[in-house]
Structure 1
């Protein structure tokens, strides 16, 4: 990344929506996600000389964003959790993980029981509605890795919900 203002403006235009979605997957609040996204890019500008291109720019930006989320949680004495707010939110209809006869609480318990990075991939897909390509970029992996990780997690969640329901 060069030090020019034009370069950071281009990066902001290209990646701000993805960073916002990533933060929204944690916050489930538009204004907090927007505020943290702005702070993420402010911090990126401040420390752009430290970006050494050893990872994708999306990975770097999401690492900054996640740190901003952690700082926000500490400042507001919140627990840094993923997805617990989703219990009362509808899951996107594009995903068939939630069948009409399944209890949302059971699904969230099963999601919470997944290990990282599977849990984060599931939350990014379900709550932020990110594409597998975007998830792969955020996690520093391929689109195919994100897809496989998601579908394996989905299988585990469905199995867990079915086992608890019987």
Structure 2
């Protein structure tokens, strides 16, 4: 298959082609998901250089362990799980490697607010994973509509221009898409 034909294929088709030896498919998957992985890494590190390094590590890990993808979930969900776990691990390593002067260590007594903020962040990240899984369950057109509205911050008028759909149809589809995501999300938690 030609590269232009592959670009229109689903992730699963690209993975199957990669399994049969077509390495160009992974390049397409890389370009398809690079920004999402990078943004998640950036949310952990708050540093573009570190986020870039983590992103490269994640894709190297994902492509090296291609046989670990069993197809039980969507590729995007599997990649997100790798991303999340790799970022958490990297963050833990970074915290362990921080060296504090001895006198600071002896005077520091953790309070309950430190522990609760770590727990809250972990819970928020777990909810985010479940939300991402719920988004994978809805139809692609609903997902696109939600991405335009909430990820890209499009107004209803912008979406109307982009998709050439009436304002009332957009509002109705947004409501239905949110309900679908809510249904899958509530099942997961």
Q: Which TM-score applies when normalising by structure 1? A: 0.51
On the 8 A contact 1:121/1:146 being kept in 2, the answer is no
Matching residue within 31, 43, 46 for 1:13: 31
Higher helix proportion: 2
Alignment of 1:120 with 2:125, yes or no, is yes
Aligned-pair CA distance for 1:39: 0.3
- SS of residue paired to 1:77: helix
**Within 5 A, what are the aligned runs for 1:11-160?**
11-77=29-95, 113=120, 116=123, 119-120=124-125, 136=131, 139-142=132-135, 144=178
Change (3 A) 1:113 1:145: farther
Contiguous gaps of at least 5 residues in structure 1? 79-108, 125-134, 150-166
CA RMSD after TM alignment: 3.7
- SS of residue paired to 1:141: helix
Give the Cα separation in 2 of the matches to 1:145 and 1:65: 27
Give the Cα separation in 2 of the matches to 1:52 and 1:61: 12
Paired residues, what number?
A: 107
TM superposition outliers: structure 1 runs of 4+ over 2 Å: 112-116, 119-122, 142-149
Deviates more, 1:58-67 or 1:5-14: 58-67
Give the Cα separation in 1 of the matches to 2:80 and 2:25: 18
On the 8 A contact 1:24/1:30 being kept in 2, the answer is yes
Bigger relative contact order, structure 1 or 2 (CA pairs below 8 A, ≥6 apart): 1
Change (3 A) 1:47 1:146: farther
